[in-house]
Amino acid sequence: MKVAVIGTGYVGLTTAVSLAMNGHQVIGIDLVEAKIVKLRQGISPIYEPGLEEALKQVLTNGALAFSTKLQDAGDADVFFVCVGTPEAEDGTADLRYVYSAVAAIKEIHQASPKSRVIVIKSTVPVGTGDKVAELLSGCQELSVASNPEFLREGNALFDALTPSRIVIGASEPKTREVMEELYKGVSAPRVVTTRANAELIKYASNAFLATRISFMNELSRLSAALGTDMVTIAHGMGLDSRIGPEFLRAGVGYGGSCFPKDTIALLQLAAQNGISLSILEQVRKVNATQPVWFLEQLQKFVPDCRGKRIAVLGLAFKPDTDDIREAPSLSILKALEEKGAAVFAYDPIAADTVRQKFPNVSYTNTADEAMQGAHAALLITEWKECVQLDWAKIYQSMAQPVLLDGRNAWPAELVKQAGFQYCGVGRS
């Protein structure tokens, strides 16, 4: 099929590449010319292992092209809307990019009407797909489907190619057929339902995952007080198939472009409907206070950070991405600066972006270098470059051998044997 993908951020780019890999003829559209120039050269504006190779492959075989002009996609059968839906000032989802993309598609359609489907992949509040359909009510042959995306950054292309499920929100049989045709080669369970159900499945999934994390993070505070071990506890819980092992890792809090904005957007949607989602409110509170709690653990080892060298390892909101949106590292750097610490930070990919926000932090080329002479080292993102370290060498190089493991990813027993003072999240 001929497919246009509007927006070439994480979701748009991986959607475009995966559809092209699955045999469709795809054109990716973005307003930002610099992005399109890069993409045409096979340069991914997003860091993810393997993504650029796949992009180059589909560019070379002609299955994928890019443009800044939606008119270049005039003959497309399907328009994927993959633009951002950021948090507005009041916490609701800002839908201006969605509506402006829809208006542009409407113009194209009116100029040369034919059978077309608009697929909303962006995360949008319940009712948005129906509103879009209303806006297009005069346009014959133009229908609207909701098709939320569940990919994880850092693993986005793999997730797009092998999704856990494909959720299709569409009422008309013809629209459902087009959606089936689009995903013909992809083996994954289908949920074919209404647009509203599809939209809520997306928010509910993210909110539930965030809830698991905050539950474990809050429990980790009790675990620290009791002297129990959160990693063992999570393992023991996760073996119950009703619980499962995923998303039980306690840490310094969740970040990223979606959990923070989608949880607040869901709360606002609920409030607009007179419903209080009190559990979700607590989920956000726990997440906001988790980095503060973590820094209180540091205080036990370094009571006064003024002038002390502190190493911060990992800045991206998770490994294998250069994304720092809502990364816990940002609030931790801010707090350390306020305490007067001399911060030395390392991240294999995201340091340059963080430097723009925190110019007074010293950025190093390796984790070892950040830890040299440090009075404590804090693991914030579990990049392998920050985890697989020569502990004997580091022990010699630190001013005070204190390790604060914000991801429970360092080998606790081994480092303790090497002489370090170790403190994880709900494990000591």
Ligand X SMILES: O=C(O)[C@H]1O[C@H](OP(=O)(O)OP(=O)(O)OC[C@H]2O[C@@H](n3ccc(=O)[nH]c3=O)[C@H](O)[C@@H]2O)[C@H](O)[C@@H](O)[C@@H]1O
Ligand Y SMILES: NC(=O)C1=CN([C@@H]2O[C@H](COP(=O)(O)OP(=O)(O)OC[C@H]3O[C@@H](n4cnc5c(N)ncnc54)[C@H](O)[C@@H]3O)[C@@H](O)[C@H]2O)C=CC1
Which residues are known to be catalytic?
258
Q: Is 257 in the site for ligand Y (CB under 6 A)?
A: yes
31 binds, among ligand Y, ligand X, none (CB under 5 to 8 A by kind): ligand Y
Which among 331, 323, 265 has a CA at the least distance from the CA of 295?
Answer: 331
Angstrom CA distances, 181 to 30, 199, 206, stand at: 25, 21, 27
Contacts to ligand Y from residues 169-208, by CB under 6 A: none
| Residue 65 in the binding site for ligand Y (CB under 6 A) | no
Write out the two tokens for 5: 């993908």
Tell me how far, at minimum, the Cβ of 258 lies from ligand Y, in Å. 5
* Binding-site residue positions for NAD(+): 30, 35, 85, 123, 153, 261, 325
* 164 touches 246 (CB < 8 A): no
Q: How many CA atoms lie within 13 A of 250 on its CB side?
A: 29
What residues numbered 188-207 form the site for ligand X, per CB under 6 A? 206
Angle, vertex CA 123, rays to CA 328 and CA 67, nearest 5: 100
Residue 318 touches which of ligand X, ligand Y, none (Cβ within 5-8 Å per kind): ligand X
SS3 346: strand
CB of 160 to ligand X, least distance (A): 10
Q: Which does 12 bind (CB under 5 to 8 A by kind): ligand Y, ligand X, none?
A: ligand Y
Residue 251, contacted partner among ligand X, ligand Y, none, CB below 5-8 A by kind? ligand X
| Nearer to ligand Y among residue 43 and residue 222 (C-beta) | 43
Check residue 46 for interaction with ligand X (CB under 6 A).
Answer: no
State how far the alpha carbon of 366 is from the alpha carbons of 250, 282, 331, 387, 410, in Å.
25, 37, 22, 12, 16
CB of 233 to ligand X, least distance (A): 13
Amino acid, res. 65: A
Sign of CA dihedral 72, 76, 82, 85: positive
CB 410, CB 428: distance < 8 Å: no
CB closest to ligand X, residue no: 258
Q: Per rule CB under 6 A, is residue 6 in the interface with ligand Y?
A: yes
Cβ atoms of residues 94 and 124 within 8 Å: no
Q: Binding string, 152-191, against ligand X, x = CB under 6 A?
A: xx--------------------------------------
Binding mask 71-110 for ligand Y (x = CB under 6 A): -----------xxxx-----------x--xx--x------
| Phi, psi for residue 250 in degrees, rounded to 5 | -70, 150
**CB distance 73 to 67 below 8 Å:** yes
Out of 10, 346, 363, 420, point to the residue binding ligand Y (CB under 6 A). Answer: 10
Is 2 a binder of ligand X (CB under 6 A)? Answer: no
Could you tell me the smallest distance in angstroms from the CB atom of residue 357 to ligand Y? 18
What CA–CA distance (Å, rounded) separates 328 from 313? 12
Which residues lie closer than 8 Å to 330 by C-beta, 6 or more apart?
A: 324, 354, 357, 358
Can you point out the beta strands (E) in 140-225? 142-146, 166-169, 190-193
Among positive and negative, which fits the CA dihedral 220, 335, 332, 423?
A: negative
The maximal CA–CA distance of the chain, rounded, in angstroms, is 73
**Using CB under 6 A as the criterion, what x/- string covers residues 121-150 for binding ligand X?**
--x-------------------------xx
Residue whose pair of structure tokens reads 């972006």 in the numeric block: 353
Find the shortest distance in angstroms from Cβ 242 to ligand X: 17
Of 303, 293, 334, 333, the C-alpha closest to 402 is 303
Residue 101 interacts, among ligand X, ligand Y, none and using kind-specific CB cut-offs from 5 to 8 Å, with ligand Y
Residue 390 CB coordination number (10 Å): 11
Nearer to ligand X, 27 or 379 (CB): 379
* Under rule CB under 6 A, residue 123 binds ligand Y: yes
Name the binder of 213 from ligand X, ligand Y, none, CB < 5-8 A by kind: ligand X
Residue 186 binding: pick among ligand X, ligand Y, none (C-beta 5-8 Å cut-off by kind): none
Q: Which two tokens stand for residue 72?
A: 């270049």
User: Please, which of residues 222-281 interact with ligand X by CB under 6 A?
Assistant: 247-249, 251, 254-259
* Residue 378 in contact with ligand X, rule: CB under 6 A: no
Residues that bind ligand X (CB under 6 A): 123, 149-153, 206, 209, 213, 247-249, 251, 254-259, 317-318
Residues that bind ligand Y (CB under 6 A): 6-12, 29-32, 35, 82-85, 97, 100-101, 104, 122-123, 149, 151, 153, 257-258
